[in-house]
Amino acid sequence: MSYRTTAGSATVLVSTAIPINSAKILSAPVSSCQNNVSLIVAKVITGQNILYRWTGPTGTLFSNAPGGPFAAGPFSTTVNQVYAQTGTLPPGISGYSICVQGYNGCGQTNTNCTWMRATVSTPNAIVGDNAACPLETKTYSVNIPTGAEVFNWSFSVPGATITPANLAGNIVNVTFPAFTTGTLCVTAGLTCGASSFSNSRCITITSTPSRPGLITGASTACGGTTQSYSIAPVSGANNYTWSFPAAGALIDGTPSPYITTATSVTVSFPAGYNQNRELCVTANNSCSSSLIRCKTIGNQVPEKPASINPSPATWCNNSIITLSVSPVAGATSYNWTLSNGTINSGQGTTSINATWGVGSGNIYVTASNACGTSSERLLNGTTNCRIAGQAATTPFNIYPNPAKDYLTIEFESTKGTYSSKLMNMNGQILISSSGISTDGSNNTKIDLTGIAPGVYILEFTDALSSSKTLITIL
């Protein structure tokens, strides 16, 4: 039997002590984009047979040379530097953490990491006017998000000129083309570009100011008073045009229309204002004016009263009647006028007691308050006392009138019942009596003891007719 041997040599590194000092990354880029290759340099670690172990997030590759070949970590080098090729970021991660650790056969150092930003947050809202004229230059700006190195600005309408106004690029001057409406947008990113750029932050810009918001202030007004009205400031507006077409009205003491830089005005309403008019405002700049914003200002003068209600519904010559209307919102008094008759009581209220004259006539009523008087409500009144073919005459003889102690009522009647009521002017019954009549002439007396002097209403009813008469008691 024979044996064959091969001669050769091998180097065996023997370490007798752990690394002496700690690991620390000395230099690395502050940012990196996907597929970038970056040089990472660490502090030299003292000791025997020192190696450097490099790690990074999933997808990061390492090499001893800038051109590769690259391999996934952990990756060891004999020197204190490595070339790292960054990969796709995991969801929710905004950068790469590259770490180094020194080691030999006897032990290892601490681990030290450096952070390279890979994405930038969206800038805050763009600051600047949302109205601009064609060929006008205006300045716009955003904050600088953490780590942002560059900004990309764009305007949706071709022809705009965008010029950086500072070194950072977060402030620009925009010269607008001929346009009506456009969108100015900005993104923030890293100098390496790629996926580092943020989402866009945009602002809509028009060549006319936006329509003013709702006008605040009272929706009704009383003639002779002053009310304040206002709107929120409109971005890009140089001034505002206010108008109120009511004759005699003033805006800040000036006839309408009125141009002012203020967003609030006072409107002086003319005496007797009883209309519904619109207070309007537009926002203006050097280009044009916005769409108009209006608010209807109603008056506080009462509405015309509803129908007049007579009681009784039909009445005789020289009869006592009650006339009334339903209350009118906001009214504090009512004025009644009769073309044929006399108002006994109730003037100024919703109900009056009146003595009608002879024949037909008109009844008028208006509602009033401190702001003015409504239009008139009219009722045409006509006597109608014809009963069972008889003439409308009063078949009763009442005396004495004025009276002091008693009243006598003489009447022609048929057999049946009769009744009498003595009432005050508010319709309250003070004396009431009744009896049986016979065919032919009848009479009855009313004792007035305890009745205070004044004017009263006597209502007498028998089988044939009924009548009311004013009685004066001394």
For residue 362, being part of any structural domain is answered with yes
User: Is position 12 within any domain?
Assistant: no
CATH number of the domain where residue 450 is located: 2.60.40.2550
pLDDT level of residue 395 (50, 70, 90 thresholds): low
- Mean of pLDDT values over 104-121: 94
Measured CA distances, 175 to 178, 181, 204, 205, 312 (Å): 10, 14, 15, 12, 82
* Mean pLDDT to the nearest integer, 63-79: 95
Q: Is 88 in the same domain as 59?
A: yes
pLDDT bin (cut points 50, 70, 90) of residue 8 is low
Same domain, 106 and 34: yes
Which of 463, 284, 308, 450 is closest to 388 using CA atoms?
463
Cα dihedral 257→258→264→265 (10° resolution): -80
- Asked if the structure places residue 57 within a domain, the reply is yes
Among 96-100, 308-312, 439-443, the range of highest mean pLDDT: 96-100
- 157 within domain boundaries: yes
Report field, pTM of the whole predicted structure over 0.75: no
Would you say residue 212 lies in a domain? no
Residues 345-384: tens digit of each pLDDT: 999 999 999 999 888 899 999 999 988 899 999 999 887 6
Tell me: pLDDT of 12 over 60: no
Residue-number span of the structural domain to which 259 is assigned: 220-296
Provide the CATH number for the domain around residue 229. Answer: 2.60.40
In this structure, are 412 and 460 located in the same domain?
Answer: yes
Whether residue 122 lies inside any domain: the answer is: no
DSSP 122: P
Asked whether the beta carbons of 434 and 460 are under 8 A apart, the reply is no
Do 111 and 192 have their domain in common?
Answer: no
Cα distances (angstroms) measured from residue 287 to each of 111, 303, 331, 357: 64, 45, 49, 72
Contact 123, 170 (CB under 8 A): yes
111 & 149 share domain: no
Give the confidence band of 13 by pLDDT, cuts at 50, 70, 90.
low
pLDDT tens string 228-247: 999 999 987 899 999 999 99
Ramachandran angles phi, psi of 194, nearest 5°: 50, -130
Q: Is 321 within the bounds of a domain?
A: yes
Residues 354 and 428 in one domain: no
Residues 287 and 318 in one domain: no
Pairing of strands 71-72, 61-63: antiparallel
pLDDT at 385: 55
For the chain, the domain total comes to 5
The sign of the CA dihedral 309, 467, 382, 423 is negative
Gap between the Cα atoms of 434 and 417, Å rounded: 7
